Amino acid sequence: MKRNILITGGAGFIGSHVVRLMVNKYPEYRIVNLDKLTYAGNLANLKDIEEQSNYCFVRADICDYEAMQEVFRKYDIDGVIHLAAESHVDRSIKDPFTFAKTNVLGTLSLLQAAKEYWNGNYDGKRFYHISTDEVYGALELTKPKGDPNGNECGGGPYGDLFFTEQTKYNPHSPYSASKASSDHFVRAFHDTYGLPTIVTNCSNNYGPYQFPEKLIPLFINNIRHGKPLPVYGKGENVRDWLYVVDHARAIDLIFHEGRIAETYNIGGFNEWKNIDLIRVIIRTVDRLLGNAPGTSEKLITYVTDRAGHDLRYAIDSTKLKNELGWEPSLQFEEGIEKTVRWYLDNQEWLDNVTSGEYEKYYEKMYGSR
Ligand code: NAD
Ligand code: DAU
């Protein structure tokens, strides 16, 4: 079946994996990647698919309502996968306005454009909003690390509770508050106007093409350059890590088979204390660079904690497994090895991103901005 799918934020980290998967898997679809190309958007992430005939790129700001109306009309959009957002917690602490604008008003503008264009004819239509586990707040650390399969006996390795789809929203950072607000708007458009919406809340992603401000690529890059590794607080915070391609697979499955008006949590039952994860990264990078074991341990530098730093995230994705049969395909050890290798093998990508050179890619491909 022919479909015209609008993917927002497709030049970013997760978005680029979703665009790649959809373009390659569905030659009969037209995939419209809409992105403002903020500092986080990088078209070089999509070099390998940008010439394919079922792909096109539109540079636009989701906050620009008229531009969104035009895109729906021009491409006759019948499905939306909405990833465009400001995504970095530390930036949201410094500049909350930009987060409210893009994440809340931008999402609202997209919802309104979809509602107006579809005009009550919702047959086969779908508005899928990608969100985060951070909207649920933070969990307690109630256990020292025990059985890594602890979740099977009623809890994770670091605590008894998980975030489920029933967990009440309790966001703490400006980033998570803006994402929570956008989630509410999406559900409100279903409840008020019948818009066929789906929301998913996913845990921390890692893998190729992540902007090196986030923990894993930042630390790989710093180790490569012998620079300090800034560990917030005591490094005791726990995050639940999922390989980005497994998230993209879940998005594809839910977009096609998820139930309208439902929420699905996505996560890999893979909790790590930051400091333990950092040691894994150090060991892996040192080994792949041929350094003696422990060489880069000395780069660990404890710094002032992030304001309002959530202690623990842990996602229960049982609903997704039971309803749609999704499970992560990659073990963490394999995922982290692949990820470190990718950043070491793609130093040019990292150097272009850290130097700002990547911002010229658009001009090279599409002319002046
Ligand atoms: P990212 O920062 O790497 O990419 C965001 C993309 O959105 C960029 O390409 C950027 O140019 C674009 N964008 C930003 N503002 C825009 C605007 N006003 N108009 C159009 N495009 C705009 O983010 P990511 O890590 O890939 O996250 C993608 C989505 O997934 C976000 O909604 C985020 O909240 C959510 N999410 C991320 C994670 C994670 O671990 N990274 C986990 C769960 C959910
Ligand atoms: O949980 C999903 C969320 O994961 C997404 O919604 C966000 O978009 C994404 O950025 C990510 O948020 P985090 O704040 O968890 O990711 P970050 O990589 O910034 O930090 C991971 C952990 O590492 C967190 O506990 C803070 C800590 N940290 C981070 C950085 C950048 C450090 O100790 N030092 C650092 O320099």
For position 150, what pLDDT does the model report? 45
Alpha carbon separation from 286 to 279, 283, 334, 335, 343 (Å, rounded): 10, 5, 16, 17, 13
For position 298, what pLDDT does the model report? 98
Please report where in the chains the tokens 């890059």 appear, as a residue: 221
Residues 6+ apart with CB under 8 A from 237: 273, 274, 309, 310, 311, 312
**Sites in the chain below the pLDDT cut of 50:** 149-153
Are 326 and 257 in contact by the 8 Å Cβ rule? The answer is no
Give strand pairing partners of 199.
129, 263
- The residue from 86, 134, 246, 271 that is catalytic is 134
Q: Where are the beta strands (DSSP E) in the chain?
A: 4-8, 30-35, 55-59, 79-82, 126-132, 197-202, 204-206, 229-232, 238-243, 263-266, 271-273, 300-303
Nearest-angstrom CA–CA distance, 84 and 65:
14
Alpha carbon separation from 80 to 199, 209, 214, 222 (Å, rounded): 12, 22, 26, 37
Are 335 and 206 in contact by the 8 Å Cβ rule? The answer is yes
Distance of CA 56 to the CA centre of its chain: 21
Which of 282, 283, 277 lies closest to 223, judged by CA? 282
For position 229, what pLDDT does the model report? 98
Q: Decide if 134 is catalytic.
A: yes
Q: What is the third-level CATH fold of 4-210+241-271+311-332+358-366?
A: Rossmann fold (3.40.50)
For atom 32 of ligand 1, the residue with the nearest CA is 83
Query: Is the CB of residue 88 below 6 angstroms from any atom belonging to ligand 2?
Result: yes
For atom 26 of ligand 2, the residue with the nearest CA is 232
Nearest-angstrom CA–CA distance, 162 and 155:
7
Token pair recorded at residue 365: 């491909």
Q: Could you tell me the residue ranges of all domains in the chain?
A: 4-210+241-271+311-332+358-366
Task: Give the torsion sign (CA, 305, 306, 308, 313).
Answer: negative
Amino acid at position 73, single letter = R
Question: Ligand 1 pocket check: which of 37, 38, 272 to mutate, most ligand atoms within 8 Å of Cβ?
Answer: 38
Nearest-angstrom CA–CA distance, 135 and 201:
8
Q: Decide if 26 is catalytic.
A: no
Alpha carbon separation from 66 to 75, 164, 252 (Å, rounded): 14, 37, 28
Are 78 and 4 in contact by the 8 Å Cβ rule? The answer is yes
For residue 229, give the ligand nearest its CA: 2
Give the distance (Å) from ligand 1 centre to CA of residue 285.
Answer: 27
| Contacts within 8 Å (CB) and 24+ apart, 90-93 | 90/213, 90/306, 91/175, 91/213, 92/173, 92/174, 92/175, 92/178, 93/173, 93/174, 93/306, 93/307, 93/308
Query: Is the CB of residue 133 below 6 angstroms from any atom belonging to ligand 2?
Result: yes
For atom 23 of ligand 2, the residue with the nearest CA is 215
Token pair recorded at residue 297: 């341990």
Q: Decide if 133 is catalytic.
A: yes
Beta-carbon neighbour count of residue 71 at 10 Å?
21
Residue 336: how many CA atoms within 13 Å on its side-chain side? Answer: 21
- The residue from 55, 128, 136, 175 that is catalytic is 175
Residues 6+ apart with CB under 8 A from 83: 7, 8, 9, 10, 12, 14, 15, 18, 130
For position 38, what pLDDT does the model report? 97
Residues with CB under 6 A from ligand 1: 8-9, 11-15, 35-38, 40-41, 61-63, 83-87, 102, 106, 130, 132, 179, 202, 204-205, 211
From the alpha carbon of 63, which atom of ligand 1 is closest? 18
Nearest-angstrom CA–CA distance, 260 and 265:
15
Distance of CA 367 to the CA centre of its chain: 29
For atom 4 of ligand 2, the residue with the nearest CA is 204
For position 146, what pLDDT does the model report? 56
Nearest-angstrom CA–CA distance, 16 and 210:
10
For position 114, what pLDDT does the model report? 98
From the alpha carbon of 231, which atom of ligand 2 is closest? 33
Question: What's the pLDDT tens digit per position in 244-293?
Answer: 999 999 999 999 999 999 999 999 999 999 999 999 999 999 999 999 99
For position 153, what pLDDT does the model report? 43
Burial category of 345 from C-beta neighbours within 10 Å (exposed 0-12, middle 13-18, buried 19 and up): exposed
Q: Does this model's pTM top 0.95? A: yes
Nearest-angstrom CA–CA distance, 186 and 107:
8
For position 120, what pLDDT does the model report? 98
Question: Ligand 1 pocket check: which of 32, 62, 83, 265 to mutate, most ligand atoms within 8 Å of Cβ?
Answer: 83
Nearest-angstrom CA–CA distance, 279 and 295:
11
For position 152, what pLDDT does the model report? 40
